[in-house]
Amino acid sequence: MRIRSNVAALATPLAKLYQHFDWLPASGFFDATVSVRHVPGLRRVLRPQVRLIVDATIPFEPFPAINHLPLLEWGMNFALAERGLHSLLLHAGVVERHGKAVLLPAIPGSGKSTLTAALMCDGYRLLSDEFGVVGLADGRLHPMVRPVALKNESIGVISNRYPAGVMGPTFDKTRKGRVAHLAPSLDSALRKKETARPSLVVFPQFRGGAALRVEPVDPVMAFGKLCVNSFNYEYLGPRSFGAISRLVQMCTHWRVEFGGLDDAIRAMDDLLAAAP
Amino acid sequence: MLVYDGGAAGMVFNPRSWATHRVSALILCVIDTLRTGPQTREQILGNLLTLSDNEAEIADALDDALREMGSLNLIVQEPASADQGI
Amino acid sequence: MKPPPLTRPDVALLMGALRDPGGVPSLSVDGCDLLVRTARRAKLLATLHVRLAARGTLTQLPEEVARHFEAANALATYRQRMADQILDSFRAPFRDLGCPVVLLKGTAYIAQGLPVAKGRIFADVDIMVPRAHLEATESRLIGSGWETTLPDPYDQHYYRQWSHELPPLAHPRYPLTLDLHHTLLPVTNRAVIETQRLFADAVRVPGSCWQVLSPVDQVIHACVHLYLDSDCDDRLRDLVDLHELIESHSAVPDFWSKLVERATRNPSLGRPLWYALRHLHAWLDTRVPEDVFRSMAWLAPLPPIRAFMDHAVSKILAGPHVDAQSASVAPAWALALKIRAMRLRMPLHLLAYHAIRKTFRSRK
């Protein structure tokens, strides 16, 4: 990823969140080049805004200038998704442990990001918080390691539970409420090129105060949900179907309803141990 | 046509429309039967009677399934009453 | 006086790769990066994929580069399939329509299986029926689930009165829109289109119920589309398509003589053809016989206009550099060409009327 910006305030949070990554020279081949720049003109004084530019196109309305980092992170996701038609991209968090990868489909309000962040802090390797990249040739999950975007209460939950976690600044007034980013762990960053075998598909459901409930999900149901929770399923036709068929067959599928992270993580550890 | 057979239900990919559909076990059976070639409704029914004694029930279920498959463009009905899978 | 060459480094890189796909693996890493980004922005990445694949060059590229070409190919393939499906879906509603249905532009190329169709990223499907059958065709389409994308009655009226096509139609099942034409250019355009002749000369696509324009008409339509119906801004893709179209059709006997004859008979169409051949030859090395240039020399514009068009188009045809900060490159030239396009589309008094009406509507 190549990032360009004239927003000086971005330098510090970027350095913090990507501290375990190498900063490469700007010349080279990159999957995407993304730019966040001040919107020029008189407005710069009255109502400062920043905008995202990807290869001479401006895909979104500008953000208030204080929300530079969320715009950049969102923009990188957008650019990667747009350019990602070489693989099947599922909308899911992906973590891995003991050579087995767990897919956490991203249903809104399910607590997927919070759980993904917690699992990473608990020692799982993060492949991605957003993209389950399924290789069409090898059927494995390919990492796309980036900071985990946490919203509203999750920010506090994760910083309190894992004070050693590297959290970026909190942005109060984004379209999605309060947003902060958790840096990928050192292990996740070091192993960013290492693919993983999918073993487990877990549909999380956070419900405050609920007791832990772990139930198997019918594979055909899982199949359907994965199709729907995808960025580019319909474009790849038979190859998508084949990739999901293979994935569904390789994994066991569960619904995990949880009220607290202790329960959820323990459940994940158990499911992982039993997974193929 | 690509099929994922989940036992009690399955998923089917229609190569003509590039659409993916969830289908019942009965439809999976019909698809299986049609792999050998076009069949009439009676022939398909004959194959399915091994599943249950209640001929009327099976016949009804089959008609529903054929209707659904038709609406999803998974089968084509030729005038000589022979159904042809894709 | 030749047109100025396209020297901007990113454009030269892209043109070079299109012309000689075998040279792509020798590009530096930076060159590759710029090429992929530039081609993608210009909607030519899938076309480049086709050429690389044909040359056997794809396998020589590192995986991290090759997969970008594959991604573009996947998108183009998907949209072509959707265009195919849409055409398929018309067979029932158009049965007994009682008039010819002529496919235009990319929709025709794909039905004919022309090389130019490969690598094309479809945004819409274009068909043409005679004016008298326009409403009937439209109602059959609406009956099949197509809906207008411009519900405003003024817009509808504007299109039906002045335009060569209805407002685009959309369908919930398909990602492409549908443009239903009754001729090739707006009624108000200065050029004269002999629509009846277009239909008379149309040819049936073997093995289908569709018609397409004759080879000469296809080429002329493409030239007209680029040089009369657009402001040439970011239209390199159209010129590349024209090149391929001509390469295909020039093999047809008497193609060139018929083309010249048409231009001679209808100079309002001859002028855009003249520009096209000139720019194609200068920038894409399209093989145009010398005597064709000579026979069409009288269609040339006056030197100041020729120089303006050469310079303006050379500056804006390829669109912005991928690292451009602002959306518009060479804004003065772009504006001049925009004004030219508007004036060609509509006489000044109608333009003023339309502009005033639009202002009032947007104030409401």
Residues of A with CB under 8 A from a CB of C: 4, 27-31, 33, 37, 53, 55-58, 83-87, 234-237
Residues of A in contact with B15 (CB under 8 A): 237-238
Domain carrying residue B34? 2-85
pLDDT in tens, C217-250: 999 999 999 998 888 999 999 999 999 999 999 9
**Region of residue A91 (left: phi > 0; alpha: psi -120 to 50; beta: else):** beta
Output Rg (C-alpha) for chain C, integer angstroms: 21
**Region of residue A28 (left: phi > 0; alpha: psi -120 to 50; beta: else):** left
Residues of A in contact with B11 (CB under 8 A): 220, 223-224, 227, 241, 245
Please tell me the distance from the alpha carbon of residue C164 to that of residue C158, in angstroms, as a whole number. Answer: 11
Give strand ranges (E) for chain C: 102-103, 124-128, 147-148, 169-170, 177-181, 203-204, 211-212
Distances, alpha carbon C352 to alpha carbons C110, C345, C346, C363, in Å: 39, 13, 10, 17
pLDDT at position B52, please? 72
Q: Is A216 on the interface with B (CB under 8 A)?
A: no
Please tell me the distance from the alpha carbon of residue C314 to that of residue C8, in angstroms, as a whole number. Answer: 10
pLDDT in tens, C10-57: 999 999 999 999 999 999 999 999 999 999 999 999 999 999 999 999
pLDDT at position C364, please? 52
Domain count along chain B: 1
Give the up-direction half-sphere exposure of residue C95: CA atoms within 13 A in the CB hemisphere.
6
Closest-CA distance, B74 to chain A, in angstroms, reads 15
What residue ranges do the domains of chain A occupy?
Answer: 88-146+184-276
Helix axes B25-34, B41-48, angle to 10 degrees: 120
pLDDT at position A270, please? 97
Closest-CA distance, B70 to chain A, in angstroms, reads 20
- Could you tell me if A117 and A129 are in contact, meaning their C-beta atoms sit under 8 angstroms apart? yes
So what's the ipTM on this one? 0.94
Residue of C nearest to B17 (CA): C85
- Is A88-146+184-276 assigned to CATH 3.90.228.20? yes
Task: State phi, psi for A178 to the nearest 5 degrees.
Answer: -80, 135
Residue of B nearest to A241 (CA): B13
Domains of chain C, earliest start first: 1-79 (no CATH), 91-213 (3.30.460), 215-220+229-364 (no CATH)
With cut-offs at 50, 70 and 90, classify the pLDDT of residue C353. Answer: low
CA C334 to chain centre: 18
- Owner of token pair 């995990």: A256
Residue A237 to residue B8, Cβ atoms within 8 A = no
Amino acid code (one letter) for B81: S
Residues of A in contact with C325 (CB under 8 A): 37, 53
- Tell me the whole-structure pTM to 2 decimals: 0.92
With cut-offs at 50, 70 and 90, classify the pLDDT of residue B79. Answer: confident
Give chain C's mean pLDDT: 91
Amino acid code (one letter) for A123: G
- Owner of token pair 């698809």: B31
Residues of A in contact with C327 (CB under 8 A): 56, 58
Which residues in chain A land under pLDDT 70?
Answer: 43
Residue C64 to residue A31, Cβ atoms within 8 A = yes
Residue of A nearest to B14 (CA): A238
Q: Is the pLDDT of residue C202 over 70?
A: yes
Distances, alpha carbon A21 to alpha carbons A13, A40, A146, A147, in Å: 13, 31, 10, 11
The pair of three-digit structure tokens given for residue C277, joined into one six-digit string: 């051949």
